[in-house]
Amino acid sequence: MNSVDVRFLLLPLPEFNMLPFGGFLDKLRFSADDADHSQQRHCSWQVVGLDTTPVTSSSGISIEIQAASADINLCQYDYLVIFGCRTARQSQQQARHYGAFLKQAAAVGITLISIDNACFTLAELGLLNDHKTTVHWRHINEFSNAYPRLKIANEQLYCIDDKRVSCAGGTAAIDLAVAILSRHLGQTWAVKGLADMLVDESRNQLHQLKSRQQAMHHDRHLGRTIALMQELMASNTSIEQLAALTGLSRRQLDRRFKQHFNMSAHQYWNEVRLQHLHWRLLNSDHFLENLADEVGFQDSSYLCKVFRQRFHLSPGQLRSQVRDKYESSTNE
């Protein structure tokens, strides 16, 4: 193997998301040589799988696998980057297939990087014990319920914790690649090519997403409250406690929500919970009782009533509709 500064193994799990995979890989490519010839001089990468069968992404596009895990000498690599499946449950289920390889990598001292839902795979294998982990904001409650003893790095795009690195996914994979490359190649080489990728600048790990700040008129109290609502979705925290965490009274908080959203803070939080439940029903096979705990409802029958009032169908009917559409499309 040629002498390079840093070497990566890229491991896409079945139904991985193409965006973080492509973003991470292209950032490596731009930093790899002096020009733009895609030559692996300063850093190198190889796409690995359990065997050399192509792996299909969540968008249905397959990528070629360059090497089987059995043929890889892990000691020749610095990082093993795992790109998680479309859903958390799928990523958990892959632990039994990829467990031996991932544990072997950890044993030889290679740094494990989980991208998107890959954190569920590593957590399932016990490879995140005693480490902080960044989890995509949509899956924080699911992760904390499944692994209550693991530490979550809240509101971070990525987290570098010794031999474990985690990234929430999406375009944050580009920012993580820059952070890692800067450690080995320096900042100049790390940011090389960002302009070509039409990326203004790399974001640090604590960058706050504007798209998550749903509050209008840049009201910092509302922005903080909404972030807390998403973070504390599974808790029994009261609106009064939530207001206190943001330095407001219940009446002041309700006034702001009425002004910007024409609903009380309690009504808004219920909407956040119901929208999350709607998404989870479509993107997981968890029982409603488990999902009820995840969104802070202790009574699943009451949750069904509230859900029906909001969406005009029950959780079971929603899943049946999606299942029927899927079956009809596969039979065409």
With a pLDDT cut of 90, the percent of the chain lying above it is: 61
165-203 pLDDT, tens digit each: 999 999 999 999 999 998 899 888 888 998 888 887 777
**CATH code linked to domain 211-314:** 1.10.10.60
For the chain, the first-to-last Cα distance in angstroms comes to 49
81: which strand partners? 10, 113
Question: What is the third-level CATH fold of 6-190?
Answer: Rossmann fold (3.40.50)
Under 8 Å CB-to-CB from 122, ≥6 apart: which residues? 82, 102, 112, 114, 128, 164
> Any idea what DSSP says for residue 35?
S
Distance CA 310, CA 285 (A): 21
Within the chain, what is the greatest distance between any pair of CA atoms? 66
Summary mean pLDDT of the chain: 89
pLDDT for 117 beyond 90: yes
Domain with CATH 3.40.50.880 in the chain: 6-190
What residue spans in the chain does CATH classification 1.10.10.60 cover?
A: 211-314
User: What integer pLDDT is reported at residue 216 of this predicted model?
Assistant: 42
Query: Is residue 240 predicted with pLDDT exceeding 90?
Result: yes
Residue range 239-260: mean pLDDT, rounded: 92
Residue 78 has pLDDT above 50, yes or no: yes
